[in-house]
Amino acid sequence: MGSRLNLSEIDAKINELEAKIAMEIKLQIGARNMLDQLTDLNAYQQCEMNLNESHRRIEFLKGEMKKLRKRKREITGETSPIAASSSVNSIDGLPNANGTAIPNAQTAAEDIVMPRSSSLNAIHVRNRSETLNLSQSPNTNALSTSGNRQSSGNLINLLKCETGLSNEKIAYKLKEIKWKLEIETKVKAGTEKLFATINRQHAEEQDKKRVQEIQDKLLESSGKVICLNKALQRYQGLYIGDEEAILNDTEKTEEDSTEKEDNKDNDQSKSTNDLLSKISSQSRKVPITGKFLLRVITATNLPGKKSHKSDSYCVIRVDNTPRGKTRSSRHSKWNEDFNILIDNASDVEITVYEKGGTVLAMSWFKFGELIEELQYRGLYRGGSSESLNSPPQPQTHVDHNGIDVWLDMEPAGQIFLHLNIVPEARKKRRKDGVIRTKPVKKFIYKRGHKFSPIHFYQPMKCAVCGDFFMTNNGYQCAECKYACHKKCYRKVIVKCITKTDQETDDDDIASAQIMKHKIPHRFEYVVNFGVNWCCHCGYLLPLGKQKVTRCSECSLMCHKHCMPMVPNFCGMSRDMASTLMEAIEHAEREKKRKLAEAANPPQAQSQPNSASNSPVGSMTIPIDQRKLQSGSEPNLLGKSYPGPVTTIPNQQKSNVTSPKSAGSRPVSTAGYVPGTEGAVGLPFSKVSLEDFNFLAVIGKGNFGKVMLAEEKATRNLYAIKVLKKEFIIENDEIESTKSEKRVFMAANQERHPFLVNLHSCFQTSTRIYFVMEYISGGDLMWHIQHQQFNEKRAKFYACEVLLALEYFHKNNIVYRDLKLDNILLTLDGHIKITDYGLCKENMYHGATTNTFCGTPEFMAPEILLEKPYGRAVDWWAFGVLIYEMLLGQSPFRGDDEEEIFEAILEDDIIYPINMSRDSVSILQKLLTKDPSKRLGAGPNDAEDIKKHPFFKHVKWDKILNKEINPPYKPKINSRTDVSNFDEEFTREIPVLTPCNCVLNEADQEEFRNFSYISNWALSQRANAPV
């Protein structure tokens, strides 16, 4: 109801209400006369249900009439409430069809509600007490008053049958039903299109099982559309107000809700508008992860049953995916429990069917609404109800396991449920402790698109292959809404129109070449009369609206707003474009390979040794020439290098720090050195899976596991990181994996004392393996959880970490995953940083990148804000690391990622009063939210941090040479003792899980030249006893 009605508008609405009340009374009189003549039990129950529903509607309309008349008196200045009240309670003067007066609504309703001494409420109580022995039932007497409002203000209260009809409930129902109807209409249209397509096939080509599935789906979607249309008409007939504002546009209601009114009726209108604002602003997809505990107990007043003896059953859907089904029951009493695991789910739907698949009624709600209710009652472990002072509502039974509630169904009926949500079990963060957290990577980048997984709630088509999304999920670009299958995103040809210079892909050359095929489409605006999908975003195109364009040449169709993003490939099919792309990319790979071969001639070269800290000096190795014959020994690098090798030279460090060198990589660019190439033919230079015995699992990450292994030849222990090729390809981590290898080689360049070095890497048909130094002392996370660090110990580790980060930055590498988990402790008490999977190369001073990645507690504000960021993110993480080592807790805490991110962006950091002044000072300067003002963000990088008073008296040369006695040295019982690692890893059996995937030749080509062995590994193998 509008908040600023004039007198004529009020009179019009009063007349409208009088007409509606008169119509309801006519229906009641007719239903009462019919009820006395019915002998069929099912028909009798349906008629009785209609009478009770009509009584509820009359009570609501009378309440609205009373408010309008009161408003009219205030405008006209009348002071005769008795007359007004009388006119509300009696509808005298409203003629019926024969011209005679109709009895007043109150009398008519009271005469009809209790026929044959059996009210609907009595049936509810009798049925439940007989079968379920429960004390609650839907109270239709309470339902008949529009003033029975819930006090908590949660949206789920508007779904309860205890909540009487009100403007708020009707507005909410209209909006929810319209949203649901829009989805189901699209599902029906898509199913009809699919059914028509299959019917056009020859009978022998049709899959009978598939045809039957589609027919069942069509019957179901048609039934849902019918139910929702009935429900929509029901609430449209009750709502007294601006329906267009409710259904289509909430901007006007939000504006109206901010204006102050001078009376209670206007305040009520304002509250309705506030509710609409809450509905419109609340996201429809609030992802919830955990367990959804549901008991489907019984349903009553179900409309449309063919017979009271017919069976009915319920189907439970989570995000439009069936997750449970009850048994069939003749009396709609099931009392069945469901324990449903949900992962980033947003809503649940419960639909009641009659045997045969006919939809009787449906109810749905969002998990976020249920959680609000559980939090209000103090029953949700993932939330808090401390700020809610209102007592629990008496209408709904509650216990420690959740709530029992009667919910309205559409188009009629009620269902009795027991509901609860148990959030995903999290490792509780102690007030004085820290926990392990995995790094996150929010988007997958391809040709500038920022793809993220998303669930679709309607039939959609992939923009790459043109097929339907059959698994109800896929990838969608966060910028341009380009949608495709998960399996198809690697085949994307079209660049995102929002792509930035920092996101240039290596495969853009092929994309640029195919983009030369520029034959523009001739798009024209058309009225869409069929079922068609947008070729860009994949959504169903609207019917009958001139917001659709179609190419007059190739008949490609898309939304008006998607038209500028459709590439100029008129006349080129998807298959042809994909074939061309693959051919161009293959040619580019071959071109790069030949250039690499030309730049690295195959003959071995002798180079003089340079002064270096490397323990591998110039050495002469005896060679059996017969083993260097062509084809005599498999070559892991894909080439054969005949000829003797007399020395294995040390690699030279390249100091590439200026922006001019950004186009070329630093020391990590070379995949191998000439000495290594020449040594490939040696018997001790080939590394394979047979060279190792796996002893234990010591770590697990996002893409694989890390296992302790013993090399058979030398009996040395190594940590082997095992990654599945299939997973790397599916997640587009090929370049990231190659980058990790190059970073390892940069660490190998000088055998940096505080970086884990790479022994070798090799591959099988299904996996790749990084063989690394084994650090048996465990990680700092394990140690800090067992013993708090004092300031001396924390400072010692901070010094060594600082030198490791400095080395990375001098080689134009930003680390991006600094945390206690990635810092290992050697037996002599020194640290080594490991896990280079998130490193970014070519990051000289001033260079930026955009990838959203890192571990939540250590991510800098500029990463969370998705702004371009540089090397300063490592110094932010360095500050968080020092804070955790000094205090044993994170400066930013929360129960989930969103709370942690909010704390990083908004919260002030708390420093204990007993913390030293220098400690507080360096933390404040490192944890500065503005990266340009952060300590270490300037061109001097780590040198500025070294000069801070926190590190006064530190002899950096002695730290680098490990001449300072460590404050703590871990102990082990034997060389294979893994007690310094978490039991959650070490208790696993050290075996490789079976992998049945078979990669094609193109995918295997991505790992060409991956295998590698370091100089120091060659030296150890050469000196190993036979």
Known catalytic residue: 207? Answer: no
Instruction: Name the burial class of residue 672, with classes exposed (0-12), middle (13-18) and buried (19+) by CB atoms within 10 angstroms of its CB.
Output: buried
Residues 846 and 877 in one domain: yes
At residue 149, the pLDDT reads 41
Tokens of 353: 């069917």
Cα–Cα distance measured from residue 230 to residue 94, given in angstroms and rounded to the nearest whole number? 28
Which of 56, 89, 118 is the last residue in one of the domains? 118
Torsion of CA 442, 448, 453, 459, to 10 degrees: 160
Mean pLDDT computed over 274-295: 62
Tokens of 120: 């609907």
Task: Give the residue from 399, 373, 411 showing the smallest Cα distance to 152.
Answer: 373
33-47, 175-189, 472-486, 499-513: range with lowest mean pLDDT? 499-513
Annotate 401-450 with three-state secondary structure. Answer: CEEEEEEECECCCEEEEEEEEEECCCCCCCCCCCCCCCCEECCEEECCEE
Higher pLDDT, residue 199 or 889: 889
Residues 330 and 456 in one domain: no
Residues 857 and 928 in one domain: yes
The one-letter amino acid code at 660 reads K
For 717, the 3-state DSSP assignment is strand
Helix axes 41-76, 264-281, angle to 10 degrees: 120
Tokens of 7: 């007198």
Q: Which residues contact 523 (CB under 8 A, 6 or more apart)?
A: 549, 550, 551, 552, 558, 563, 566
Q: 590-646, pLDDT tens digit by residue?
A: 776 777 667 655 443 333 333 333 333 333 333 333 333 333 333 333 333 333 333
Cα–Cα distance measured from residue 822 to residue 558, given in angstroms and rounded to the nearest whole number? 48
Task: Give the residue from 156, 127, 124, 155 showing the smallest Cα distance to 142.
Answer: 124
At residue 154, the pLDDT reads 66
Per DSSP bridges, beta strands 717-724 and 704-711 are antiparallel
Which of 68, 100, 118 is the last residue in one of the domains? 118
Residues 818 and 954 in one domain: yes
For residue 1005, pLDDT beyond 80 = yes
Alpha helices of 571-650 — where are they, by DSSP H? 574-599
Tokens of 431: 């007030």
Cα–Cα distance measured from residue 404 to residue 719, given in angstroms and rounded to the nearest whole number? 53
For 981, the 3-state DSSP assignment is coil
Tokens of 811: 């080689």
The one-letter amino acid code at 137 reads S
How many Cα atoms occupy the beta-carbon half-sphere of 480 within 13 Å?
A: 25
Helix axes 872-887, 917-926, angle to 10 degrees: 150
Q: Which residues contact 907 (CB under 8 A, 6 or more apart)?
A: 892
Q: What is the CA radius of gyration of the chain?
A: 36
Predicted confidence band at 858 (pLDDT cuts at 50, 70, 90)? very high
Residues 820 and 947 in one domain: yes
For 983, the 3-state DSSP assignment is helix
At residue 768, the pLDDT reads 92
At residue 425, the pLDDT reads 56
Residues 476 and 519 in one domain: yes
Question: Does any domain span residue 521?
Answer: yes
- Length of the chain counted residue by residue: 1026
Which of 391, 423, 455 is the last residue in one of the domains? 423
Tokens of 402: 């959740």
Q: 716-727, pLDDT tens digit by residue?
A: 999 999 998 888
Mean pLDDT computed over 123-134: 40
Residue 950 is given by DSSP the state G
Angstrom distances, CA of residue 488 to CA of 238, 476, 483, 492, 513 = 48, 11, 10, 7, 20
211-220, 371-380, 927-936: range with lowest mean pLDDT? 371-380
Instruction: Name the burial class of residue 240, with classes exposed (0-12), middle (13-18) and buried (19+) by CB atoms within 10 angstroms of its CB.
Output: buried
Query: The CATH number of the domain where 464 resides is what?
Result: 3.30.60.20
Residue 698, H or E segment: strand 692-700
Residues 915 and 949 in one domain: yes
* Lookup result for tokens 């305040």: 267
Question: Does any domain span residue 754?
Answer: no
Q: Active site residue: 319, 347, 779, 817, which one?
A: 817
Question: Does any domain span residue 870?
Answer: yes
Tokens of 624: 């059996």
At residue 709, the pLDDT reads 92
Question: Does any domain span residue 990?
Answer: no
Cα–Cα distance measured from residue 139 to residue 161, given in angstroms and rounded to the nearest whole number? 8
Query: The CATH number of the domain where 311 resides is what?
Result: 2.60.40.150
Residues 648 and 788 in one domain: no
For residue 923, pLDDT beyond 90 = yes
Cα–Cα distance measured from residue 920 to residue 364, given in angstroms and rounded to the nearest whole number? 52
Tokens of 292: 């959804």
Cα–Cα distance measured from residue 918 to residue 164, given in angstroms and rounded to the nearest whole number? 64
Q: In total, how many domains does the chain have?
A: 5
Cα–Cα distance measured from residue 604 to residue 645, given in angstroms and rounded to the nearest whole number? 6
Distance of CA 897 to the CA centre of its chain: 11
Q: Which of 243-247, 264-268, 501-505, 800-804 is modeled with the greatest confidence?
A: 800-804
Predicted confidence band at 504 (pLDDT cuts at 50, 70, 90)? very low
Higher pLDDT, residue 1018 or 27: 1018
Residues 959 and 1010 in one domain: no
Q: Which residues contact 948 (CB under 8 A, 6 or more apart)?
A: 918, 921, 922, 925, 935
Phi, psi of 337 (to 5 degrees): -100, 145
For 466, the 3-state DSSP assignment is coil
Mean pLDDT computed over 250-257: 38
At residue 893, the pLDDT reads 82
Q: Are 555 and 528 in contact (CB under 8 A)?
A: no
Residues 790 and 895 in one domain: yes
Sheet bearing 717-724, strands edge to edge: 692-700, 704-711, 717-724, 767-773, 758-763, 1012-1013
The per-residue b/e assignment along 798-833, b for 16 or more CB within 10 angstroms, e otherwise, is: bbbbbbbbbbbbbbbbbbbbbbbbbbbbbeebbbbb
Q: 76-99, pLDDT tens digit by residue?
A: 766 555 444 444 444 444 434 333
Distance of CA 877 to the CA centre of its chain: 25
Q: Which residues are bridge partners to 709 per DSSP?
A: 694, 718
Residues 517 and 630 in one domain: no
Q: What share of the chain is helix, strand, coil (3-state, %, to 5)?
A: 40, 15, 45
Q: Which of 331-345, 508-522, 669-683 is modeled with the greatest confidence?
A: 331-345
Torsion of CA 684, 686, 691, 692, to 10 degrees: 110
Distance of CA 499 to the CA centre of its chain: 22
Cα–Cα distance measured from residue 340 to residue 155, given in angstroms and rounded to the nearest whole number? 23
Tokens of 473: 């999920």
Helix axes 872-887, 791-810, angle to 10 degrees: 170
For residue 284, pLDDT beyond 80 = no
Question: Does any domain span residue 355?
Answer: yes
Q: What percent of the chain has pLDDT over 90?
A: 21
Question: Does any domain span residue 653?
Answer: yes
Predicted confidence band at 792 (pLDDT cuts at 50, 70, 90)? very high
The dihedral of CA 398, 401, 406, 409: what is its sign? Answer: positive
Predicted confidence band at 755 (pLDDT cuts at 50, 70, 90)? very high
At residue 394, the pLDDT reads 40
Question: Does any domain span residue 216?
Answer: no
The per-residue b/e assignment along 281-299, b for 16 or more CB within 10 angstroms, e otherwise, is: eeeeeeebebebbbbbbbb
Residues 575 and 602 in one domain: no
Structural domain containing residue 309: 288-423
Q: Are 703 and 731 in contact (CB under 8 A)?
A: yes
47-61, 423-437, 497-511: range with lowest mean pLDDT? 497-511
The one-letter amino acid code at 597 reads E
Q: Which residues contact 320 (CB under 8 A, 6 or more apart)?
A: 183, 349, 455, 457, 472
At residue 599, the pLDDT reads 64
Query: The CATH number of the domain where 888 resides is what?
Result: 1.10.510.10
Task: Give the residue from 519, 511, 559 showing the smallest Cα distance to 538.
Answer: 559
Q: Are 759 and 776 in contact (CB under 8 A)?
A: no
Cα–Cα distance measured from residue 44 to residue 640, given in angstroms and rounded to the nearest whole number? 90
At residue 1026, the pLDDT reads 63
For residue 316, pLDDT beyond 60 = yes
Question: Does any domain span residue 257?
Answer: no
Mean pLDDT computed over 294-318: 86
Is omega for the bond preceding 411 within 30 degrees of 0, making it cis? yes
Predicted confidence band at 42 (pLDDT cuts at 50, 70, 90)? low
Tokens of 558: 């898309």
Sheet bearing 358-366, strands edge to edge: 321-325, 312-318, 347-354, 358-366
How many Cα atoms occupy the beta-carbon half-sphere of 49 within 13 Å?
A: 18
Task: Give the residue from 342, 347, 351 showing the smallest Cα distance to 293.
Answer: 342
Residue 451, H or E segment: strand 449-455
Q: Are 180 and 411 in contact (CB under 8 A)?
A: no
At residue 639, the pLDDT reads 34
DSSP secondary structure, 728-777, as one string: HHHTT-HHHHHHHHHHHHHHHHTT-TTBPPEEEEEE-SSEEEEEEE--TT
